[in-house]
Amino acid sequence: MNKAFSNKLKDIILKNLSNEQFGVSELAYEVGMSRSNLLRRIQKEENCSASQFIRKIRLEEATTILKNEDKTVSEVAFMVGFNSTSYFIKCFREQYGYPPGEMDQQLIEKELPPEEVKKHRISISRYVIWASAVVIALAVSLAILFSAKQTKVELEKSIAVLPFKNDSDDANNVYVINGVMESILNNLQSLKGLKVISRTSVEKYRNTKLSIPEIARELNVSYIVEGSGQKVGNQILLSVQLIEGERDNHLWSEQYNRQIEDIFQIQQEVAQEIAGSIEIVIGPDEQKRIRKKPTQNLLAYDYFLKGVEQLNKETEEGLIAGIPLVRKAVEEDEQFALAHGVLAIAYYYHDLFEPEKQYTDSLIYFADKALLYDATLPQALTGKALYYMQVRNYKQAIEYLETALKYNPNSAIVINSLSDIYTNYVPDTEKYLEYALRGISLDINSHDANTASYIYLHLSNALVQNGFVDEALVSINRSLNHYPGNLFSEYVKAYILYAKNKDLTETRQLLINALAKDSTRFDIMQEIGNICYYQRDWETAGKYFDQFLQIRDYLNSNAFAHKDLEMAYVYKQLGQHDKEQKLFDQFKNLMDQEQSVFQYLFKASYHAYLGEDDQAIKNLELFTQGDNIQLWVPLFTPIDPMIDSFKNKPEFIKVMNQMESQFNSKRDRLKTKLEEEGLLQVIQAL
């Protein structure tokens, strides 16, 4: 690689060294290149991927720190942007051939004469043999224990904070205990490397009779936090304990009897004790945020806790009751940033289902106030992002949401908002998949069965589009388990099975079975006609398309407009040229308006329809240059009837090979990223 360019990339990476979120997209933005161009240049010059290049720089800096500073391996991992010590050790070993803990040994051997190196290694070997003999029985036991539970490693840093119990007979004080619980939860959520289940997901366990191991299994976590307490006059009594979920083993507990003004100190101490007990390294910035008091005004904080108690009911009545209380909090303390941020979020949800928004001015006012007093507060950043979502400025919304995620990696509202944007407004299947997996791991238990079914449906769709066929099948089955009547899931499953089995006859029958359960589903009619099109069964395809178009016209809808050309082709084969021409014209109008990378795919189909083979192949080449290829394109293009005239041409075969190779490369890259972040294990645990 050009040395100046290489040094520029290295300097950028080093400036963002401890930021685990800094990846290929961020590097491309900083260097002023498109992601795809950066990938190609690094691959060409360095013969490695961009993510591997970033990792290489991080590991080189790690070796420098290990040589020159008295730091533990965990501390170094954190300093160079790894949120998992075990993954850091794995990468280090792959890069240098030995783990970071052996750095001192390697340095010693470099200083020894060649004849002394062998003696040194013999002495080390004797120690290792002796140590191994001492612990071999334990090692065998552990191997047996974990052989059937390989995903357990990924659960070691996952935790759920159960609703605290009110020990007082006075129900009016319950808001204080709930507030303490939520503050501890928020502090833990801000820690990198720790998966923290959302408050809404644990709420159903408030009065549960389930055992700790049963709750841990349901939530797929390793640790559980329980607590109880009461407010007596000006004192707060609190009891908190940390439990290893699977074995119901108590790891830490503490009782607090403090003055109410010490409430912030208690919340800080509990979060630090829990983090220490499960060996989570708290970085300097995280430590600073945990220690920061949200307000010095206890009356303002009391109003705030009362308001949040109402808002957490997540009802219209709760919003109406809670907002005035939180507004009293900011009247008492104008610089109460957290209260401002919570108000902004509350006003967004107050307007969410209203066709005409009434509270946009309040939303942006309180979001800006929160940012004025604390520019790194996740609730402030989230409030500003929700404002941009409300005014449909999704680019700005993404920026604020992703910044909020840096300060609260476990925020369900942020993760679910990003998932929503990337599936509905700024389509990006790769990012949608990433955030859908994060959201499910944190928040799926907070939804009813029907909602959960649709969440798993969208996840399975994102999985299969990115080439994770087996994982998509697991997710779609979970969707149908939650709601067997979900016909969307039923016909998506038909296509997932086609991706697995390549059997159009099976796909057709599964779709027919789904339509039999609801004969009005014109979307399924279209899908059956589409499969008949690929089978060259023009008459049957025409019958289903007739039914589909009749309903679509009646509804004055443009549903499946991107399929108009395929329907036109069927009517062309049937000699029904009036229908053909109408659908052809509609598709051309759609193609002319399309501005995304899919315009080249539409143009390729258009020219193939007209018999202009070279133009069709050229547009397929242009489409392949983009970075948004979904599985369906390389899967169905080779069997499309419109390409029959040139499917054996070397130029077409070359393009399809390139497309498939690029898709596979993207899938493998994404798989590595998801594995590094522990997200693929979410699917394995479904």
553-571 pLDDT, tens per residue? 888 878 888 899 999 999 9
Higher per-residue pLDDT: 165 or 683: 165
CA 224/CA 163 separation, integer angstroms: 11
The answer to whether the beta carbons of residues 683 and 444 sit under 8 Å apart is no
Q: So what's the architecture of 3-110 in CATH?
A: Orthogonal Bundle (1.10)
What does the alpha-carbon distance between residue 168 and residue 179 come to, in Å, rounded to a whole number?
Answer: 15
CA distances from 511 to 492, 505, 523, 566, 580 (A): 9, 10, 10, 18, 25
What CA–CA distances, in Å, run from 668 to 61, 346, 423, 583, 665? 26, 40, 21, 38, 5
pLDDT in tens, 383-409: 999 999 999 899 999 999 999 999 988
Nearest to 667 by CA among 463, 399, 369, 368: 463
Q: With the C-alpha atoms ordered 217, 221, 224, 225, is the resulting torsion angle positive or negative?
A: negative
User: CA-to-CA distance for 59 and 77, rounded, in angstroms?
Assistant: 9
For 239, the 3-state DSSP assignment is strand
CA distance 426 to 620: 23
Region of 314 on the Ramachandran plot (φ > 0 left; ψ -120 to 50 alpha; else beta): left
Q: Is 355 helix (H, G, I), strand (E, B) or coil?
A: coil
Instruction: Give the CATH fold of the 154-293 domain.
Output: Rossmann fold (3.40.50)
* Burial per residue of 321-339, b for 16 or more beta-carbon CB atoms within 10 angstroms, e otherwise: bbbebbbbbbebbeebbbb
Write down the pTM of the prediction. Answer: 0.59
Is the distance from CB of 642 to CB of 608 less than 8 angstroms?
A: yes
pLDDT at 83: 64
Q: What pLDDT is stored for residue 515 in this prediction?
A: 93
Across 569-577, average pLDDT: 96
Q: Are 193 and 280 contacting, i.e. CB atoms less than 8 angstroms apart?
A: yes
Angle, vertex CA 291, rays to CA 289 and CA 294, nearest 5: 75
For residue 134, name the pLDDT band (cuts at 50, 70, 90): very low
- The confidence band for 448, taking pLDDT boundaries of 50, 70 and 90, is low
Q: Which CATH superfamily is domain 299-408 in?
A: Tetratricopeptide repeat domain (1.25.40.10)
Top-confidence residue, 218 or 533: 533
Phi-psi bin for 279: left (phi > 0), alpha (psi -120 to 50), beta? left
Cα–Cα distance, 343 to 356 (Å, whole number): 19
Backbone angles phi, psi at 238, to 5 degrees: -140, 140
| Other residues' Cβ atoms within 10 Å of the Cβ of residue 174 | 16
Give the three-state DSSP class for 243. strand
pLDDT of residue 388: 95
Strand partners, 195: 158
Q: How confident is the model at residue 84 (pLDDT cuts 50, 70, 90)?
A: low
CATH of 503-593, one of 3.30.1330.10, 3.30.465.10, 3.40.140.10, 1.25.40.10: 1.25.40.10
Query: At residue 410, does pLDDT exceed 90?
Result: no
Q: How much is the average pLDDT of 485-490?
A: 88
Per-residue pLDDT at 156: 53
Flag whether pLDDT at 126 surpasses 50: no
What is the DSSP code string of 433-462? HHHHHHHHHHHGGGS-HHHHHHHHHHHHHH
Cα dihedral: 193, 198, 204, 210 (round 10) = 0
The strand ranges marked E within 487-561 are none
Residue type, 56: K
Q: How many CB atoms lie within 10 A of CB 171?
A: 8
CA distance 300 to 294: 10
- Identify residue 345 by its one-letter amino acid code: I
Q: Report residue 631 as tokens.
A: 């599985």
Amino acid residing at 99: P
All residues at 6 or more sequence positions from 58 whose CB lies less than 8 Å from its CB, including other chains: 13, 17, 80, 81, 82
The helix or strand, by DSSP H or E, that contains position 256, with its residue range, turns out to be: strand 249-259
Residue 414 in tokens: 């942020």
Which is nearest to 391 in space by CA: 359, 413, 423, 343?
359
Q: What is the DSSP string of 621-658?
A: HHHHTSS---THHHHHGGG-GGGTTTTTSHHHHHHHHH
**Cα–Cα dist 495/567, whole Å:** 19
Instruction: Tell me whether residue 150 is exposed, middle or buried, using C-beta atoms within 10 angstroms of its C-beta: 0 to 12, 13 to 18, 19 or more.
Output: exposed
pLDDT of residue 536: 97
pLDDT in tens, 289-317: 888 889 999 999 999 999 999 998 878 88
What is the arithmetic mean of pLDDT over 432-449?
72
CA 619/CA 64 separation, integer angstroms: 49
Nearest CA among 415, 431, 417 for reference residue 197: 415
SS (H, E, C) 130-182: HHHHHHHHHHHHHHHHHHCCCCHHHHCCEEEECCCEECCCCHHHHHHHHHHHH
**What fold is seen in the domain 420-501?**
1.25.40
